Structure formats: structure tokens, C-alpha cells
């Protein structure tokens, strides 16, 4: 099939495009600008058009578009004129995943990490909403066993055909899609689990009582995960733990949440491969980009990039930074926060005001937003309890970060741990 992707530069859609390309289909795509991802796609012989153009539509068999694409997109209009079959990313999943052995991971937090760990353990194909450092991509094609990061934000996990369904947690998020109907939200998770032959759940999740899910493999972290320790190996963070009666494991990363994510992946993999293979393959996981991603490590200057954009995620990352600082004898932590979406910030404002506790300085970038109404949020007043700085952007070099406001450097940070959090372009600003 000839398949065209509108918005192919997105982290999720690009992985699907790569997967279909490796499956023998002829793939093309378009986006609004050149990025690292679009360049990678071009290097894999996928024709990418920048920007969107009606000329990109030329009798393809199928057009798939991202959630960010609106009805007035010129390529979408042209595809309709040519009577080409059109699917949203969500609608395309049964076509893409329908005949695969899918290990699908969902949850408000930890799904990218759990999926990447699972891909390492199974040594399977992978479709992830992040870049695994094991294979330096959001995609890998090995066989028809797929570790897939399923998405609850638009209900698309219900179309992902899970053989094994793994739920890390079910904290309410993206509630606008569910019309703020909590019954509808939680029922979607239950439906996702009921679709699968094998179910693996965090039975102590505080939001959804997954202990009552029938025929599920249940992880009770407080009693099943023991002897958690954190240590550095060649400057890299590692967590060790004992899981049930399965023995000792080591995994890249810091934190109780890392042990939990790894444990869920281990329990899912036990249905497929032997325990010692699991233990060995777990060491192949080396983290994912933008998740506690250590960009610089000097004696007294560390830069960490983390995709955390929800208060719960930020709080967890802050705990990991505290551990990392202690082991590195670092005394100060500066947070650079790029709020992601006005709606998310407004909905979770009280939690955001608490999650940066423990930082010595909070630097706030402009809100990263796409196609949503601008809401009035008085950041200066709401976050007045912090040591605040507001800037337009940062400029990162080796050994320091410049804070820039109105195109002028207003300060330079050269000491302590710098943690950047957010889901916008802050990840690129933190790199030099």
C-alpha cells in the first residue's frame, strides 16, 4: 500500500510510519517544519514534504493524520477530493497492529519507560512515544511481537488489539476527551484490560481498584518489591530490587517508580521467556531520551532533561534528583519549567504549586501550547512562594546555561543541578 502521514514528525505518528515502512509499504509524509525526526525519516527512504502541500497527495491508498491536524489542512482537503481513504492515527491502529502479538502498555505515568523496558526484555519490535537509548529510536522492527505504548488520551488504546495489557496507573488525565466523566474514563481502562488475553496491573493504584480485575497478574508494590537500593555505576543511575520470589534485578534509572515499571514488564515477559533471559535482557535497557536524561555531568554542574509535564510526574522526578544530588554531593537544584498547555496547567494548578518543593530556584518559560484557547494564569502570584525567574528562553553551552529575556542574557547558571521539565521544545533548548 501507498500510505501518506499528515503530521509525520510527531513522536507517535513517526513510529507508526517507520513500522509500516519496515512492513513493506510505501510511506510518505508531511509536517510544518524540519526536525530531527523528519530528517531521520528521510534517511530511512521515507519521502517527507515540508510544509504541508496539496501536491503531496497523489492517489495514495490511505492517508493517516495526527490529532493535531485540523479539518482545514490542505492535504486532508485534497485527499477527500481524490476520494482517498482517510484515517486518524487512532482509527489506523487496528490496521497496523491487528495481526501482531501486542504487549500494550498504558497509564497516565510510566508507560513510555515500561514499554521501553519491556522491549529490552523481550527483544521485540517496539513502537514507543519516546526515544529508547537502547536502539536510539522510537521504533524497532524485529518480529511480530510488539511492545506498544498505548494511548488513553484519545481512547485509542481501545483499538490497539492487546494480547497482553499492562496498566501502570490510572490517574485522571486528558479528561477533556472524556467530557470530565470519570465513569467513562475508568470504564475505558477496564475495557482495555478485558480485551487482552494476559493482564498485568498495578494492584495498588490509588485511582482505579485494579485488585478486582479478574484473571489479572497483580503487582502489589508495597509487598512484592523489596530491598530497593539506588547506586551509581560509571556515573549512571541504577536501581536494584527483589521481586516476589523471582530474585534480584538491576535496572537503569532512579526511583521506586523505576522498580515498579520494571516489575510490571518482568511479570508480563514471564509468559514468554525464561527468568534468567529476562534478568540478562533487563540490563540492555539504558533509559529513554527526555526521561531523567543526563545531558551534562561536571563536578558541580549537572543538566537533566525530563519530559515530566504533570505534577505527579514532576514530583517523582524531583525525588530522583534528590537521590542523584545526594550521591553526587550537589547542594542546589534549579528547575526550568515550561508549562505544557494552558488547560493542563489550569486543571492542575494547585498540584503544580506544590510539586516544585525542594528546589532552590524556579525558572518559568512561556506556556507551550498548540491550538487551544489562552487562559489567564497569574504565574507570578500563584508561584510567589518560590524563588522565581521568568524568561523567554535559555541558551545552553558546555558548563553553563544563559537565561534570556527580551533577547538579553539576564543571568548565567554555572553550578548545581539544573532540571528541565516540560513536553514542549525545552528539550531542544537544554541541548547544545
Residue 273 shares a structural domain with residue 346: no
Q: Are both 216 and 351 inside the same structural domain?
A: no
Q: CA distances (Å), 339 to each of 38, 290, 333, in order? A: 25, 15, 18
Do 298 and 229 share a structural domain? no
pLDDT tens, 295-313?
Answer: 999 989 999 999 999 999 9
| Mean pLDDT value of segment 220-242 | 95
What is the percent of the chain with per-residue pLDDT over 90, rounded to a whole number?
91
| Residue 337: CATH number of its domain | 3.90.190.20
Residue 348 is predicted with a pLDDT of 94
Clarify whether residues 377 and 326 are in a common domain.
Answer: yes
> Is 90 exceeded by the pLDDT of residue 400?
yes
The reported pLDDT for the residue numbered 388 is 97
Q: For residue 147, how many other CB atoms are within 10 A of its CB?
A: 30
Query: 297 near 381, Cβ under 8 Å?
Result: no
CA dihedral 72, 73, 78, 84 (to 10 degrees): -100
Query: What is the rounded average pLDDT for all residues in the chain?
Result: 95
Q: Are residues 270 and 347 in the same domain?
A: no
The answer to whether residue 371 scores a pLDDT higher than 80 is no
CB distance 122 to 171 below 8 Å: no
Question: Residue 156's closest CA among 238, 71, 66?
Answer: 66
CATH number at residue 49: 3.40.50.720
The count of other CB atoms within 10 Å of the CB of residue 67 is 18
pLDDT category, 372, cuts 50, 70, 90? Answer: confident
> Do 355 and 233 fall within a single domain?
no
Of the candidates 221, 254, 282, which is a domain's last residue? 282
- How far apart, in whole angstroms, are the C-alpha atoms of residue 315 and residue 419? 12
* Helix or strand (DSSP H, E) at 138: strand 137-140
Using pLDDT thresholds of 50, 70 and 90, give the confidence band for residue 432. Answer: confident
- Number of folded domains that form the chain: 3
Structural domain includes residue 288: no
131's CB contacts (< 8 A; 6+ apart) are 11, 137, 138, 288, 289, 290
Residue 76 pLDDT exceeds 80: yes
CATH number of the domain to which 187 belongs = 3.40.1190.10
Question: What per-residue confidence (pLDDT) applies to 5?
Answer: 98
Average pLDDT score over residue span 350-369: 96
pLDDT in tens, 1-37: 999 999 999 988 999 999 999 989 999 999 999 998 9
The C-alpha atoms of residue 121 and residue 270 are separated, in whole angstroms, by 10
In contact, 357 and 381? CB cutoff 8 Å: no
The residue-averaged pLDDT of 252-271 equals: 96
Please check whether residues 375 and 306 belong to one and the same domain.
yes
Q: Please tell me the predicted confidence (pLDDT) of residue 173.
A: 85
DSSP state of 158: G
What's the pLDDT score for residue 315? 95
Q: Answer yes or no: do 304 and 271 share one domain.
A: no
Rounded Cα–Cα distance for residues 29 and 38 (Å)? 9
pLDDT digits (tens, 9 = 90+) for 103-128: 999 999 999 999 999 999 999 999 99
Q: Is the pLDDT of residue 51 over 90?
A: yes
Q: Which residues contact 249 (CB under 8 A, 6 or more apart)?
A: 240, 241, 242, 243, 262, 266, 279, 282
Q: What is the pLDDT of residue 73?
A: 95
The mean pLDDT of 341-354, rounded to a whole number, is 94
Domain enclosing residue 66, as ranges: 2-91
pLDDT of 323? 92
Given 282, 310, 333, the domain boundary residue is: 282
The model carries a pTM of 0.85
Classify residue 287: in a domain, yes or no: no
**pLDDT band at 412, cuts 50/70/90?**
very high
Amino acid at each position: 500500500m501507498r500510505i501518506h502521514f499528515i503530521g509525520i514528525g510527531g513522536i507517535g505518528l513517526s513510529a507508526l510510519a517507520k513500522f509500516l515502512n519496515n512492513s513493506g509499504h510505501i510511506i510518505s509524509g508531511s509536517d510544518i517544519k524540519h526536525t530531527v525526526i523528519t530528517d531521520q525519516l528521510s534517511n530511512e527512504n521515507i519521502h517527507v514534504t515540508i510544509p504541508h502541500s496539496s501536491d503531496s497527495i497523489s492517489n495514495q491508498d490511505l492517508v493517516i493524520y495526527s490529532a493535531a491536524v485540523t479539518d482545514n489542512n490542505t492535504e486532508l482537503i485534497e485527499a477527500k477530493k481524490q476520494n482517498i481513504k482517510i484515517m486518524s492515527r487512532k482509527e489506523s491502529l487496528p490496521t497496523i497492529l491487528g495481526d501482531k502479538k501486542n504487549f500494550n502498555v498504558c497509564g497516565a505515568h510510566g508507560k513510555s519507560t515500561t514499554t521501553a523496558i519491556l522491549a529490552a526484555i523481550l527483544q521485540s519490535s517496539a513502537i514507543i512515544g519516546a526515544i529508547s537509548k537502547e536502539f536510539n529510536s522510537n521504533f524497532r522492527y524485529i518480529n511480530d511481537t510488539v511492545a506498544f505504548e498505548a494511548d488513553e488520551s484519545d481512547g485509542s488504546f481501545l483499538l490497539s488489539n492487546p494480547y497482553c495489557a499492562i496498566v501502570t496507573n490510572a490517574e485522571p488525565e486528558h479528561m477533556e476527551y472524556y467530557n470530565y466523566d470519570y465513569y467513562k474514563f475508568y470504564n475505558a481502562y477496564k475495557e482495555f484490560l478485558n480485551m487482552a488475553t494476559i493482564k498485568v496491573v498495578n494492584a495498588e493504584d490509588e485511582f482505579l481498584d485494579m485488585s478486582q480485575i479478574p484473571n489479572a497478574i497483580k503487582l502489589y508494590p508495597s509487598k512484592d518489591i523489596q530491598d530497593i537500593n539506588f547506586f551509581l555505576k560509571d556515573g549512571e543511575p541504577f536501581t536494584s530490587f527483589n521481586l516476589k520470589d523471582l530474585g534480584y534485578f538491576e535496572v537503569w534509572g532512579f526511583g521506586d517508580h523505576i522498580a515498579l515499571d520494571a516489575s510490571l514488564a518482568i511479570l508480563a515477559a514471564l509468559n514468554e521467556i525464561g527468568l534468567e533471559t529476562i534478568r540478562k535482557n533487563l540490563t540492555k535497557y539504558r533509559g529513554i531520551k527526555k526521561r531523567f536524561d543526563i545531558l551534562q555531568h561536571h563536578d558541580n554542574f549537572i543538566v537533566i532533561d525530563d519530559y515530566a509535564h504533570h505534577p505527579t510526574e514532576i514530583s517523582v522526578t524531583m525525588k530522583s534528583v534528590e537521590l542523584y544530588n545526594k550521591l553526587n554531593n550537589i547542594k542546589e537544584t534549579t528547575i526550568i519549567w515550561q508549562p505544557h498547555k494552558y488547560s493542563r496547567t489550569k486543571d492542575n494548578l494547585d498540584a503544580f504549586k506544590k510539586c516544585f518543593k525542594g528546589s532552590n530556584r524556579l525558572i518559568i518559560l512561556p506556556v507551550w501550547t498548540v491550538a487551544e484557547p489562552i487562559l489567564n494564569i497569574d504565574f507570578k502570584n500563584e508561584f510567589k512562594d518560590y524563588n522565581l525567574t521568568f524568561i523567554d528562553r535559555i541558551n545552553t553551552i558546555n558548563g553553563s546555561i544563559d537565561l534570556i529575556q527580551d533577547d538579553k542574557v539576564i543571568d548565567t547558571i554555572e553550578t548545581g543541578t539544573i532540571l528541565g521539565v516540560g513536553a514542549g521544545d525545552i528539550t531542544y533548548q537544554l541541548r547544545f
